[in-house]
Amino acid sequence: MVSLRNSSDSPVPTIYILTATHYRLVQFAELTRMCQTLLHIKNVHWVVIEDAAAPSARLENFLNRCGVSFTLLATKTPSEQVLPPGQPRWRYARGVVQRNRGLQWLRENFKLGQNEGVVYMADDDNTYSLRLFDEIRTTKRASTWPVAFVGRLIWEGCVTKPGHPDIIYRMQTIFKPWREFPIDMAGFAVNLQLILSHPDAKFVADPKLYGMLETDFLKKLGLRNFTDLEPKADGCKRILVWHTQTKDPDIVALDNMKTGFQPTMLPGEFFEMTIPPAIMVIYSQLNPCGT
């Protein structure tokens, strides 16, 4: 957990990637891709926080196989924060208590003034250019860059002053443009020291604060507005992260999970495929593609 030092003996800050994750069919596909991305990055520590009462063996096995330095934590989203069925997805911010658990872990394990590091909240469905991590690593207090496919724009985020790639003078956004930090979670990184020096800075799950999760958090870290952030990605001129989303697979009968198909088969674990004959009959009566 000690920061590595490069050949010139100056510290290379560790990047702490905080990833909230929850069970779904595509979970291990997305974590597999993210693992392959992080495997390319030096001096990274992946803090994965499961939405569960306790860490699952499936996820622990996966992370062990992945090969990236990791910590697996778990905390369950309280029932009152769980999105009711049929409600629009934005009704509740997801991953709130998990990200807070990750922040708690940082505060329990590192001390103000002692550890070099940078913190990035990276969801498991986004797409990350390898270059993004070089940009993140040099964050002194808090930094930002544009993110593709956010807020119903092709990209959303910082715009620097012409001829001054180090000065952000406006934010490209259409959703609640009055926000002090019109930024998606994928669009900022924070120095570990700033997290440690503001022990009460947490994310708040409140539908009334819809869309304000990032702004509320960054203000609690003592930042006033986007002009306080360090612009990255060549003066905010490159797309290095895409807010991609994966479709839910079109599966005939999720009931099959109660029978021969088991979700535990998916992570690439060894699995047995013993499907009762009755299930096969049911399937053969279906005409899945309308032909």
Q: Which residues bind a second copy (CB under 8 A)?
A: 25-26, 28-30, 32-33, 36-37, 39-40, 90, 127, 129-131, 148-149, 151-155, 159, 172, 174-175, 177, 210-211, 234, 236-240, 242-247, 249-252, 256-257, 261, 263, 265-273, 275, 283-284, 286, 288-289, 291
Is 125 marked as binding a ligand?
yes
Which phi and psi (to 5°) does residue 195 adopt? Answer: -65, -45
Minimum CB separation from a second copy for residue 91, in Å? 11
Q: Which of 93, 100, 40 is nearest to 73 (CA)?
A: 100
Nearer to a second copy, 112 or 130 (CB): 130
Least distance (Å) between residue 20 CB and a second copy: 19
CB of 19 to a second copy, least distance (A): 16
Q: Is residue 180 flagged as an active site residue?
A: no
Catalytic one of 214, 230, 269, 272: 214
Closest separation in Å from C-beta 82 to a second copy? 20
Angle (CA) 284-287-288 rounded to 5° is 110
The two structure tokens encoding residue 112: 């103000």
Return the C-alpha torsion angle 10, 15, 16, 20, nearest 10. 180
Output 37 or 215, the one with its CB closest to a second copy.
Answer: 37
Long-range contacts of 150-157 (CB under 8 A, 24+ apart): 150/184, 150/186, 150/187, 150/243, 151/175, 151/182, 151/184, 155/239, 156/182, 156/183, 156/184, 156/187, 157/183, 157/187, 157/236
- Nearest residue (CB) to a second copy, 48 versus 240: 240
CB neighbour class for 248 (10 Å; exposed up to 12, middle 13-18, buried from 19): exposed
In the complex with a second copy, which residue's Cβ is closer, 124 or 180?
Answer: 124
Cα distance between residue 98 and residue 123, in whole Å: 11
**Whether the Cβ atoms of residue 78 and residue 97 lie closer than 8 Å to each other:** yes
Owner of token pair 């940009």 = 135
Nearer residue to a second copy within complex by CB, 30 or 180? 30
Q: Give the catalytic positions in this structure.
A: 214
Annotated binding site for Mn(2+): 125
